[in-house]
Structure 1
Amino acid sequence: MAKRPKFSIQALLEEVKAEEEQENKLKSISGDIKKVTRVKRAMNCIPPELPPTLRAKLLVEFFDVTVEDTNTIEAVGKLDCFCGDSHVFAPPVGHCIECDRELVLKTRCKVRYVSLEGVKEKLKLSLKCSHCELTYTYSKFGRPKDGMRFYDEEREGVEVTDGVIFSKRLCELQSCLGNHAWVSFEGFAESFNEALVDQNSAIDRRTFSKAWYWFEVEKELRRIGRENFFFSGSGTYFEDAFSIIEETRQKSLYKHTCSDGCLKKGCSKMIVVDGIWKLNFTHCMMVSKNVSCGVPVLNLPDVCTNEPQHGHAFCSVHVSMVNDYNKTSGAPSVPTKLKEFLKYCNVGTDGDNDKPSEDESSIMGKVVQTAAKCGLDTTAGSNVINQHSGQEFITPNMPLIKDVLAECDERDRHEVCNKDTGDKKPLNQRSRGHMVAVSPGGHILMFNPLYRSESPSQALLFMLSVVCLCLGGAPETLWGGMWIAYDNMCNILKLKAMDWLKKSDGLVARMFTKCQKIIDGLHISNHKSKFCQEVLHPSNFDNMYPELKGTRNTMVAEQTFVWLGRFKKIVCAMPKSRHMFFLHRMIIRRNSYTSNCHARNINIVLPKVRNQYTT
């Protein structure tokens, strides 16, 4: 401030007025800064995609920004949205996807947001189009009566229920702990609640389970390009997608990019096949003949592979058939509940349905008699041939499959190798396990369920489908360089079907016969015959590929089973559809982890196999 030349009343008044103006400017600037800060915070909490009228309404209600303050409201549209946790979960669109009309508010409710920071209360909005009758929730849109689908844009949260939203980072942590530490849904729920949540806000196991399935179903649908899949409004929720995911899984191998570390193990030159018996699921007890494309198929178990209704002995198809018989026959009703049906068949158990007191043939005979009594269609339900290979493989190769399986009876032989294929069968209610194909680098290529036993017919059918997918499109000159390792290969080669395959001109038959066959290094010591020790010895692989001697890994299947088998306590209690989906997603994650380790030249944790009793 300039020095007064001399004292005067007029000069003093001017000085006071100037100071007041400066002070008012400072107050105005301070108020504007506070206002801008408040608006920025509001914009940080309200999704910018919401219609302007709805955004203004929320600003008035929650953040003390008045509609009359037009300058502030105009500034709202010009400010960038800051990053951070949103206090409002809303659809990512403000206009209808079909008609481009502005959306209006449908519902608003408080939700619990579950994240790595614990549980917080947030606000969730759903919008609707008055013209198209489309509903837009946080993660999906559609007409509830017709079905809902995911947005093309992936959201940061998982909408578990109307009142619960999970952070995807938390779901990712849950998946990683399950994949590497075999943590169950209940174990993760208890750990989360104990570490981050007070007792009054605890999240139960079912909610964590549902969140995981929604999270992984969305990731899988986006992976296979089916994010436009519509979930029905019938109450089946994410389970609607299981059938299409399983159908897609059967059509292809699990893909991976080979690195130097992977190739040193023999990847792209060998497939190791084996059966794991620890992982099984319940299936329908009724008989279902193996008929595909109208053609009967021999030497496969005649079981219905559908999962049973909860608490019942049969699947929904056979339960409906039996109930129809009960209504029209006038005879004593045939029960469909599991315990009542076993009692009806006079099947005694020792307190455990998996340990029948009668032999399997007797029990199956009673089930067959019941099916005949009810006049049931023995081709109804789902059979083994379709479950094992999928229509993509069966339909073009039906003549080959029919003739090969018809010859899947073993020749008389003097030398019998020590291979237990599961002759002691449990009650016809649980699958036998899974047939798995693994690359020497540790990547799982394919898996399919086994029924009744690890029979040569199912093993051969599985290997044919794997070879078809693996060598399809490859030049014929490369077929002879592919090796297949299996611990029961000697009995596969002694099938009469092998003679038929050698004579066949079919593409799949020529692929399989040209592939080299060996027994894996872990089980070769159990095989005493000269044929096994000379013709099928794993060292024969080294003669063709001497550069891989000492690095190739034929025991990779059993090593992988040490990891895979630890899911027993998690997946064996699941119904079939969830069992298959859970393993499918865990295998994808395991393969990704394996590829990353190879790419970074890090040793993969492949546990040592201490004995032969690992399957």
Structure 2
Amino acid sequence: MVHPESSTSARLACILFSLPELTEYLTLEDLNRFCDLVRWLRPEITAVQRSHIHTAPPHLPANIHNFFMQVFSMPDEVTKIAWYALREIAWDMGDTDSREIERRVQAMVSAFLCYGLPNDIAFYNLWPPTRSCNDPACQRALPGGETIPRELVEPYIYTATVFSRDIGAIPARVISLYCRNCKTRYYPSYYVHDGASLQTYYPGVPHLIHLSKRTFISGEVCEMFANLMMTSWASATNCARFYNLSLTKPEISVELPSEWNAPFELDTEHVWESFFLYSLLLDHNERGTMLCLPHQEASQADRLLPALNARNILMAGAGQEHWSHCCDLCTARTVDESGQDCGLRSAVTDGVGIGHPCCAVHDCKEPLLTKPKGARYCKLHADLEYHCSVIACEMRADEGFKTCGLPSHRALDNYLNLQNKAMFQLRSRLERLTTSQTSHNLVPTVATLDSLDVACEVKSPQGNKRIRAQFGRRRTHNEETCVASCGVILGRATMFGSEAVSGVLEFWKRLFPTSASLPGVLWHDQNCRLWSMLQNEDEQTRNFFQNIALPVDVFHFKCKHKETDVVCGTHCNPYIWPELRTSDGKWRFNSSAAEQSNVWFGKFQAMVREMHVDRYNFFLDEMVKRRNRMRVKELEKKGYRPFLVPREAWLT
């Protein structure tokens, strides 16, 4: 069998031999480059003919003809001969992988910058994936009764930047087309009906992600950013800096026309928008659905929020991809009373100190208002924004202050304002340093500094009374994770007010909604308290957990629980269950898996501490999903046999 590339090279060599007028200007390598350029610019070349015509046009468009003349230093007539001789071969390359063609054409980027832009040709000319309307109702009838798709017309062209992995930030031209019949405008990544409120993305994940009108980013760069965040906790700011310092080529922006107004540097918001949009497209592609976003929103961040929230709802509880994971490391093969084989799964639950801003009302789970910036309350409690910030005070705050006019309350407000000033902070630090010194020669003037008295600290006739106030935003208490003993994270939940055992119990109920999905062993460092609480629960809840082992992991059992604790010793000692030990006396399961995973999980705090709840949940779920995939591959390499139980088997 002859390799296609060898066959093409042989045909090109025959053409070069039979047309000596080309030999003066082109080598065999030039002919291959010519064909690559034709394939790469095929959408531009076919723009001069109807979309249902699939053969090469007899003549090149004038701007592309001039481009080829300049790239290969050929006169007009020789360029025409070259096109006539090579067009069929170049068109036969239509089935060649477009990514392979792109890699070959990347070597000619400088030619596009030098000769392409003056001829209205960019390296990336971003067309819609179709030049005819996709709506069957827009079929156009021909005289013989045949129907053909309706042509898209009215091209709207503007400049943009593509942030690629291999050649950095590169100029691009964006072309959108319009269907006059159904009034739909088709863009490179999505289409919008005229006056409609939604932009609908095409099926699949595009190679270039459309972030904004003038910004595209390749999926490879999005994947790189996501992996940097997952493996090294790189912030969006540092991802943008890394790209701008390492992958952007400054010489490209220098060679651009002066009127080019698209950005050539990524910023923090570009990185976040690319992460969220790319992850949504991947998710919809995996689910076999199409992404739809509001079209009229002022910013991409606002446009993404409904889709983020919808995915968060799907991921809550048992939504993680590896929620039903089992493997030789977290599941032990056992035999039940009837002699049938069954699996004993082991999972560990633990909390990690990571959270997001939430309503200042204790344990309120409603999302914060997005406006004004820095809002402390949700929509339900929005009126409290104008109340005195002192806890339990029901008076309204005075204008320009966060407290009411009571002297003791106003003193807190004044003290807060003073604390926020750099001079006060430096002075306080110096005072603390001086009082800790045995020598008074360090700063002799400190003794003359007056101390600040706060009215609320003065002893009243009723005795000392400490006044507490909530000036800033409250944060959620922690994240609770449930991790299989092999390290695969089965799910997570946000604890708003505290890490109470009642909250852990509710977390388990949502994560394992059926008895079939419930692991046989659930480790937690407060299982003794949880067991005691279960005795006072309703019969349905007690029955749900009655066949589950609730041990305290070995470390906490030895170091955190008293020997005199009868409940812990008789109901949560892991030695009670022989299934938790191997034949050689070792522990069968890793009871510290959650603590080990939370070391990784907790390092996202700096990245998410100011995130809105929708972004927060989506980001962490996506990080868990990616880490689980990486973990499963590691288990396979080590010889363990990971597998997913069909979700329906445990949910029905």
Q: Structure 1 length as normaliser, TM-score?
A: 0.68
Matched to 1:131, the amino acid is: N
Matches within 5 A, 1:141-220: 141-143=191-193, 145-197=196-248, 201-220=264-283
Query: Which of 576, 583, 596 is the aligned partner of 1:559?
Result: 596
Q: Provide Cα deviations, 1:348-370, integer angstroms capped at 9, x if missing partner.
A: 377589xxx99999769xx9xxx
Matches within 5 A, 1:424-573: 429-469=474-514, 471-472=515-516, 482-495=520-533, 498-501=535-538, 504=539, 506=540, 509-525=542-558, 526-528=560-562, 529-543=565-579, 546=582, 549-573=586-610
Q: Which has the higher contact order (CA 8 A, sep 6+)?
A: 1
Q: Distance in 2 between matches of 1:271 and 1:218?
A: 31
Unmatched tracts of structure 2, length 5 or more: 1-15, 52-56, 69-75, 103-122, 139-148, 254-263, 335-342, 388-393, 421-455, 458-463, 641-652
Contact 1:313 1:336 in 2 (8 A): no
Structure 1 pair 132–180 and aligned structure 2 pair: CA distance change class (3 A): same
Q: Please say which of residues 570-579 and 24-33 is displaced more in the overlay.
A: 24-33
Q: Provide Cα deviations, 1:132-188, integer angstroms capped at 9, x if missing partner.
A: 121221212223632112211321111111112111111111111111111111112
Contact 2:377 2:385 in 1 (8 A): no
Matched to 1:216, the amino acid is: S
Structure 1 pair 147–459 and aligned structure 2 pair: CA distance change class (3 A): same
Residue-pair matches, total: 486
Match of 2:619 in 1: 582
Q: Structure 2 length as normaliser, TM-score?
A: 0.65
Q: Distance in 2 between matches of 1:23 and 1:447?
A: 69
Match of 2:101 in 1: 84
Match of 2:359 in 1: 284
Q: Provide Cα deviations, 1:469-488, integer angstroms capped at 9, x if missing partner.
A: 5x34x6xxxx7x71111111
Contact 1:467 1:512 in 2 (8 A): no
Contact 1:483 1:518 in 2 (8 A): yes
Match of 2:41 in 1: 45
Q: Provide Cα deviations, 1:492-525, integer angstroms capped at 9, x if missing partner.
A: 2222x53333xx2x4x552222212111223212
Does 2:157 align with 1:112?
Answer: no
Partner-residue secondary structure (3-state), 1:447: strand
Q: Provide Cα deviations, 1:517-564, integer angstroms capped at 9, x if missing partner.
A: 111223212100233134212233444553594341111111111110
Q: Please say which of residues 254-263 and 100-109 is displaced more in the overlay.
A: 254-263
Partner-residue secondary structure (3-state), 1:53: coil
Contact 2:377 2:384 in 1 (8 A): no
Partner-residue secondary structure (3-state), 1:159: strand
Matched to 2:357, the amino acid is: T
Q: Please say which of residues 432-441 and 226-235 is displaced more in the overlay.
A: 226-235
Q: Distance in 1 between matches of 2:549 and 2:381?
A: 43
Match of 1:130 in 2: 180
Matched to 2:366, the amino acid is: C
Q: Distance in 1 between matches of 2:472 and 2:466?
A: 10
Q: Distance in 2 between matches of 1:102 and 1:185?
A: 42
Contact 2:326 2:345 in 1 (8 A): no
Cα drift, residue 598 of structure 1: 0.5
Structure 1 pair 549–468 and aligned structure 2 pair: CA distance change class (3 A): farther
Cα drift, residue 491 of structure 1: 1.4
Structure 1 pair 334–97 and aligned structure 2 pair: CA distance change class (3 A): farther
Does 2:350 align with 1:274?
Answer: yes
Cα drift, residue 212 of structure 1: 1.7
Partner-residue secondary structure (3-state), 1:438: strand
Match of 1:61 in 2: 63
Q: Distance in 2 between matches of 1:517 and 1:493?
A: 8
Matched to 2:62, the amino acid is: V
Contact 1:112 1:120 in 2 (8 A): yes
Structure 1 pair 24–270 and aligned structure 2 pair: CA distance change class (3 A): closer
Cα drift, residue 571 of structure 1: 0.9
Cα drift, residue 225 of structure 1: 3.9
Cα drift, residue 50 of structure 1: 6.5
User: Percent of pairs identical after alignment?
Assistant: 17
Matched to 1:304, the amino acid is: E
Contact 2:200 2:292 in 1 (8 A): yes
Matched to 1:431, the amino acid is: T
Partner-residue secondary structure (3-state), 2:308: helix
Matched to 1:212, the amino acid is: F
Q: Distance in 2 between matches of 1:491 and 1:193?
A: 53
Cα drift, residue 221 of structure 1: 2.9
Unmatched tracts of structure 1, length 5 or more: 1-21, 288-300, 326-331, 368-425, 604-615
Q: Distance in 2 between matches of 1:48 and 1:361?
A: 74
Structure 1 pair 27–148 and aligned structure 2 pair: CA distance change class (3 A): same
Q: Provide Cα deviations, 1:387-414, integer angstroms capped at 9, x if missing partner.
A: xxxxxxxxxxxxxxxxxxxxxxxxxxxx
Q: Provide Cα deviations, 1:385-442, integer angstroms capped at 9, x if missing partner.
A: xxxxxxxxxxxxxxxxxxxxxxxxxxxxxxxxxxxxxxxxx97721111121111111
Q: Distance in 2 between matches of 1:172 and 1:281?
A: 25
Pairwise CA RMSD: 4.2
